[in-house]
A and B are shown apart, each in its own frame.
Chain A
């Protein structure tokens, strides 16, 4: 699944790379109300395209992919950015980690590798490291790159996130939700490239809001009651009935 908002410069190449390098996956592009030809180009490149009628934001777009995967009975869902930052070849490594270690989510981390091809600006890296520090303490698992959008989910995680996924800047908070529902995650080193084109959804003006929102979500999230059982347990039925 590739969430994309105005990524016409790169989306066709991303879809083609996915179809070549990861043929066991079906390519799905969630076009988050792009005003350019992103959806059309993705369709021409051979992806299934879910076209949202307006821009709902990254969280809502990604959740569309989870709902699609849940309703169509997929066992795994991989999330890849539409800007060419991620290398489809490395999906194989994520899948390998998922099947050998008993984890529900595998995240690609740009900081676990010495092969630095992604020179993130210092302010951005500082923010990422603050979130990483907090999450590592909370989850009790080393987390180095909590904002990474290169992830592989299994059926448990798909069903959880189809029900509950954060709205704005969701990556960090999603890991917390995962933890609250007793699902496990692990990171693997991946290479990340600079954007192939287009603009990041996080401009400098928004990064202050990003920090504030995610920190609020983290601290408030800590105060929420932990889930009673794993999502496939009996407690889920009760929770669904209440909500």
Chain B
């Protein structure tokens, strides 16, 4: 066994094992791991089985057989890069969609909040317009904001507490 063969075997084996370990630790999704596993397995196979490598090197006209291993390896690297470019394209497309949806949601929320606050500041029984009232009672300016957030939170809390109550019949989706 030549030294270059030994180096190739160890390199491919380390690659294969680290891909599997990353999948196990959930650092790498199976979706992206499969192509890596294929590459590492083929490289390991060619490093171990020098007969096949010699045949490939003859077929592509390479005189020094280990160079054929580099050739195959570079082929896989190109394939992986293309795969990731496609994945990145899909992800940036999705990020655009998310940003757009969020902008629309924020606008809707702002409109809803404005509608809510204009209902609250409807002319009061004493006949004062909302603006006048605010000037008259400066401390109240902080209070509505605080009150609003409590009101927003409470229904959800109450609703979930009620649903989880043991006396209720099974409530499911």
> A73 contacts which chain B residues (CB < 8 A)?
159-161, 163-164
A54-B97, A71-B160, A72-B160 known; A168 and B31 CB under 8 Å?
A: yes
A171 to B160, CA, bound (A): 28
> A212 contacts which chain B residues (CB < 8 A)?
34
User: In chain B, what residue has the closest Cβ to A225?
Assistant: B24
A168 to B31, CA, bound (A): 8
Interface size of B in residues (CB-CB distance below 8 Å): 24
Give min CB distance, A131 to chain B, whole Å: 15
Dominant SS at the B interface? Answer: helix
Find out whether the CB atom of A54 lies under 8 angstroms from the CB atom of B24.
Answer: no
A216 to B31, CA, bound (A): 10
> B93 contacts which chain A residues (CB < 8 A)?
54
A216-B23, A220-B24, A223-B24 known; A24 and B30 CB under 8 Å?
A: no
**A26 is an interface residue with CB less than 8 A from chain B:** yes
Find out whether the CB atom of A78 lies under 8 angstroms from the CB atom of B97.
Answer: no
Find out whether the CB atom of A68 lies under 8 angstroms from the CB atom of B173.
Answer: yes
Find out whether the CB atom of A216 lies under 8 angstroms from the CB atom of B97.
Answer: no
Interface size of A in residues (CB-CB distance below 8 Å): 30
A72-B159, A216-B23, A216-B37 known; A77 and B29 CB under 8 Å?
A: no
**A69 is an interface residue with CB less than 8 A from chain B:** yes
**B48 is an interface residue with CB less than 8 A from chain A:** no
Dominant SS at the A interface? Answer: mixed
A1 to B34, CA, bound (A): 31
**B169 is an interface residue with CB less than 8 A from chain A:** yes
- Which 9 residue pairs across A and B have the least CB separation, nearest first? A76-B172, A73-B160, A73-B163, A73-B164, A28-B173, A53-B101, A220-B23, A25-B172, A1-B173
A65 to B173, CA, bound (A): 8
Q: Which of B20, B30, B97, B170 is the one whose CB lies under 8 Å from A75?
A: B170
**A95 is an interface residue with CB less than 8 A from chain B:** yes
Give min CB distance, B5 to chain A, whole Å: 28
**B94 is an interface residue with CB less than 8 A from chain A:** yes
Give min CB distance, B161 to chain A, whole Å: 7
A167-B31, A213-B31, A213-B34 known; A95 and B160 CB under 8 Å?
A: no
User: In chain B, what residue has the closest Cβ to A168?
Assistant: B31
Which parts of A137-174 form the interface with B (CB within 8 Å)?
167-168
User: In chain A, what residue has the closest Cβ to B164?
Assistant: A73
A69 to B164, CA, bound (A): 11
Residues of B that sit less than 8 Å from A by CB = 20, 23-24, 29-31, 33-34, 37, 93-94, 97-98, 101, 159-161, 163-164, 169-173
A53-B98, A217-B30, A224-B24 known; A26 and B173 CB under 8 Å?
A: yes
A72 to B94, CA, bound (A): 27
A75 to B101, CA, bound (A): 31
Known contacts A25-B172, A73-B161, A167-B29; can you find 15 more A-B pairs with CB under 8 A? A24-B169, A25-B173, A26-B173, A65-B173, A73-B160, A74-B163, A75-B163, A75-B164, A76-B171, A95-B170, A167-B31, A168-B31, A213-B31, A220-B20, A220-B24
Chain B CB within 10 A, most for which of A1, A75, A217: A75
Give min CB distance, A242 to chain B, whole Å: 12
**A209 is an interface residue with CB less than 8 A from chain B:** yes
> A53 contacts which chain B residues (CB < 8 A)?
94, 97-98, 101
Find out whether the CB atom of A26 lies under 8 angstroms from the CB atom of B170.
Answer: no
